[in-house]
Amino acid sequence: MPSNKALNPPTGECRQCWLHAYDSREQHKHLKPREDCPACVDHMNNGHNNMIVGG
């Protein structure tokens, strides 16, 4: 289960980026060593959409 920090990004941060940064092992456990996360790559290429935490 993700930590409280991983689930509660501060204002101005992207929820997915924050979760994948602070719960990286769990979020990426399905990947082979040195394999890029498809969700992260898609997210970086297509933007954050409505995932930025508002103030």
CB 52 within 8 A of CB 16: no
**Confidence class for position 55, pLDDT limits 50, 70, 90:** low
pTM for the full model? 0.84
In a domain, 22, yes or no: yes
> Residue 8 sits in which domain range?
4-46
CB 43 within 8 A of CB 16: yes
In a domain, 38, yes or no: yes
**Cα angle value 24/29/4 (rounded, 5°):** 40
In a domain, 19, yes or no: yes
In a domain, 10, yes or no: yes
In a domain, 51, yes or no: no
Task: Tell me the one-letter amino acid at 24.
Answer: S
Q: Could you report the per-residue pLDDT of 1-26, keeping only the tens digit for each? A: 899 999 999 999 999 999 999 999 99
Q: Which residues contact 7 (CB under 8 A, 6 or more apart)?
A: 19
Inform me whether the pLDDT recorded for 36 exceeds 70. yes
> Could you give the number of structural domains in the chain?
1
